Amino acid sequence: MIGVALLVTAPLAVFIRGITQQRYRSAFTRIWMLRPFWYAQLLLPLLAIAGLLGAIGGAPFGMAGVIGRTAMAIAAVLLIAIGIWGFVGAHRLVIRPLELAFDRLPEGLDGLRIAQVSDLHVGPHTSRRQLGRIYGAIRDARPDLIAITGDQVDDYAADVSHFVAAFGSLSAPLGVFAVPGNHDVYAGWDAVRAGLESAGLTVLVNESVEREHRGARLRVAGTGDPAGRSWRRGNAVNSGPDITRTLALTRPDEFTLVLAHNPALWPALAARDVDLTLSGHTHHGQLSIPRIGWSLASPFLELAMGVHRRGTSVLYINPGTNYWGVPFRIGAWPEVTVITLKRAVPASA
């Protein structure tokens, strides 16, 4: 019992010190202190519920204690098995080909390939082997453009050095683009942005650039993140979303691709006839049943996972290419999405 109490309470000192003194958390602290703490916070309430239900069920037979303890033991075995499954799942990597058709796609952009990764949450604790696999999957896809849709770092601006070490050498003919996610904002956006740009990434915050591919114009834009509206550390207040500024330079004859970490921004983009929006943020709850289109995030978010269409506008929500908090993913496997743009076949054909 003393060990359990320490497991549940001791890391609170690390939390408090980190918040008040802004101390950088080492890989050891994140893996061997904070991660068990989070596991305990998730598991202990479930075990308590199982024990309570067992005790209630056994009470009429005078066996509340025995059945309660048995229920807790069974629940512990099941939860440990699920935890192992989720841990293994967090270290999988799915390369998902996704073909999206558009009526107004210029001929020169037909077949253009975009590699999207999101929610990498890189820090000193992140598996270098897994980051290497992600890097290799992006490189092997040979994309024309690479989109990194937010939450590049875990919780600290200094984490950007680990991100750059893993992905700083990525390249693509049309560029490697990144936008802020809420964790990048919390970490200190100015420093995170400087680190990303020092590695040669094109960082877009409520701005856009024009690219040309086989004679056709492509407008690549990026929004700020809603967290930037109120979070002030590192001048992050400048990283909030402004859709009008984001789309200020768009032209009717250009195909527009917008990177927006939070899919809650998409309705405003769709109302402005943005062709394609790529988002992340939801992680698909890190637990999903893709076959029925459900995820742990679905009860809380209107736009939680998958492909969405409104008029001519399309949204894709990447499930995340890593994890946050504890390494746990079931169904919502880490994903590198390889998107191919296609011209829609006329209905008459």
What CATH code is carried by the domain that includes residue 250?
3.60.21.10
Q: Are 220 and 209 in contact (CB under 8 A)?
A: yes
Tens-digit pLDDT profile for residues 55-101 = 999 999 999 999 999 999 999 999 999 999 999 999 999 999 999 99
19 domain-assigned:
yes
Under the banding of pLDDT at 50, 70 and 90, the label for residue 121 is very high
Q: What is the pTM of this model?
A: 0.91
Residue 235, phi-psi category: left (phi > 0), alpha (psi -120 to 50), beta (remainder)? left
Same domain, 84 and 231: no
Q: Which of 72, 89, 106 is the last residue before a domain boundary? A: 89
Q: Looking at the chain, list the stretches that DSSP marks H as alpha helix, in order from N- to C-terminal side.
A: 2-9, 11-21, 27-29, 35-58, 64-90, 128-141, 160-167, 182-198, 243-246, 266-270
- In a domain, residue 17? The reply is yes
- Are 215 and 280 in a shared domain? yes
- Residue ending a domain, among 65, 89, 113, is 89
* pLDDT over 80 at 233, yes or no: no
- pLDDT of residue 158 exceeding 80: yes
Is 74 a domain residue? yes
13 and 106 within one domain: no
| Residue 168 sits in the same domain as residue 282 | yes
**Are both 136 and 282 inside the same structural domain?**
yes
User: What's the pLDDT at 73?
Assistant: 95
Is residue 8 located within the same domain as residue 108? no
Does the residue 349 lie in any domain?
Answer: no
Q: Tell me whether residue 348 is in a domain.
A: no
Q: If you average pLDDT over residues 267-292, what whole number do you get?
A: 97
Residue 237 in any domain: the answer is yes
Angle at 172 between CA 171 and CA 173, to 5 degrees: 135
Work out how many domains the chain is built from and give that number.
2
Shared-domain flag, residues 48 and 166:
no
pLDDT tens across 10-45, in order? 555 555 555 444 678 888 888 888 888 888 888 889
Decide which of 91 and 347 is more confident.
91
| Pair 73, 114 in one domain | no
* pLDDT given at position 242: 95
Domain of residue 275 covers: 95-343
> Does some domain include residue 256?
yes
- Last-in-domain residue among 69, 89, 109: 89
Tell me, yes or no, whether 195 lies in a domain. Answer: yes
Band of pLDDT at residue 6, cut at 50, 70 and 90: low
Q: Answer yes or no: do 77 and 108 share one domain.
A: no
* 62 and 103 housed in the same domain: no
Q: If you count them, how many residues does the chain have?
A: 349
Q: Which tokens in the block code for residue 23?
A: 């101390």
Together in a domain, 202 and 156: yes
Do 80 and 164 share a structural domain? no
Beta bridge partners of 116: 147, 337
